[in-house]
Amino acid sequence: MSAVLMDGKGLSARIKEQVRAQVEKMSRRPGLAMVLVGEDPAAQVYEAGKRKDCKQCGIYYETYRLPGDVNQEELVEVVQLLNQREDIDGILIQFPLPEHLDDRAVQLAIRPDKDVDCVNPSNVGDLILGVDSFRPCTPAGVMRLLKEYDIDPTGKRCTVVGRSNIVGKPQAMLMLLSDATVTVCHTKTANLKEECLRADILITAAGKTGLITGDMVKEGAVVVDIAINRDDQGKLCGDAVFDQVTPKASYLTPVPGGVGPVTRAILMENTLCAARRHGKG
């Protein structure tokens, strides 16, 4: 058996086209602002991607670039300014912030109805309670990919590797809300292989090249690889050893071209949704 590779690029293009078609009919267009602190080269690449996506979808976009030594008050002031602007429906902050800044204070400062990546604790609470609100883009992208391939989590055993606040935890919660039986693994997990082997759906977001080997995957399991790593040749890869996992899995997300592009498309959808909440139509 060889896994079906889940085409995140294709799905992303379809989602963005749907967003574009809806935006085209609106009299006031949605707007997204991204706040970047410091000069992290990876963040600059993400920023360029978001700018391009917004252009494709007809969404107004702007970036606030703040120096790495910006103080807390100045950063919160920028967020508050964006909170007040009617042309901006979604606010995205590149986390983690430099150490001298307080992530939580900034997350709390984002108006919940503009919090398109679901980082404000009130939206995180709604997520846990299963209340309809924004979903964080990456975990929501994974759910969309599963849906696209008719993979129903109901009653399935799901193992999530990783428990970060932005990926692992919300991913586990979304799988639970979709009626999977969920196990969450991390660096203190006693027997990672055993936990992974149990999974009908294995979702990995550890950020460790080579972590998931073929012998950790149950025959026929669905493997979703969220991680974006580099191998020793500097090539992009996920946590799963592709050549070993492909013959075992029924479905697998490639890296690149799997979860990443869908994450970007969900951000466009969330921005459209925020604009509708703000009465734009």
Active-site residue among 53, 117, 200, 239? 117
d(CA 83, CA 86): 8
Q: Is 169 marked active-site?
A: no
d(CA 162, CA 160): 6
Query: Closest CB to ligand NAP among 57 and 224?
Result: 224
d(CA 103, CA 229): 24
Query: Closest CB to ligand NAP among 120 and 183?
Result: 183
**Can you say whether residue 220 is alpha, beta or left, with left for phi > 0 and alpha for psi between -120 and 50 degrees?**
left
d(CA 91, CA 169): 21
Q: Is 193 marked active-site?
A: no
Q: Which residues make up the interface to ligand NAP (CB under 6 A)?
A: 138, 161-164, 166-168, 185-189, 192, 205-208, 211, 226-229, 259-260, 263
Query: Closest CB to ligand NAP among 109 and 172?
Result: 172
Find out whether 278 and 29 touch, Cβ atoms under 8 Å: no
Query: Closest CB to ligand NAP among 206 and 252?
Result: 206
Query: Closest CB to ligand NAP among 50 and 114?
Result: 50
d(CA 99, CA 76): 15
Judging by beta carbons within 10 Å of its beta carbon (0-12, 13-18, 19+), is residue 173 exposed, middle or buried? Answer: buried
Tell the smallest beta-carbon distance from residue 117 to ligand NAP (Å).
Answer: 10
Tell the smallest beta-carbon distance from residue 9 to ligand NAP (Å).
Answer: 12
Tell the smallest beta-carbon distance from residue 149 to ligand NAP (Å).
Answer: 17
Find out whether 32 and 59 touch, Cβ atoms under 8 Å: yes
Closest among 273, 277, 254 to 57, alpha carbons compared:
273
Q: Is 232 marked active-site?
A: no
Active-site residue among 7, 53, 89, 94? 94
Tell the smallest beta-carbon distance from residue 21 to ligand NAP (Å).
Answer: 24
Active-site residue among 50, 218, 248, 280? 50
Find out whether 2 and 252 touch, Cβ atoms under 8 Å: no
Tell the smallest beta-carbon distance from residue 147 to ligand NAP (Å).
Answer: 17
- Residues involved in catalysis: 50, 94, 117
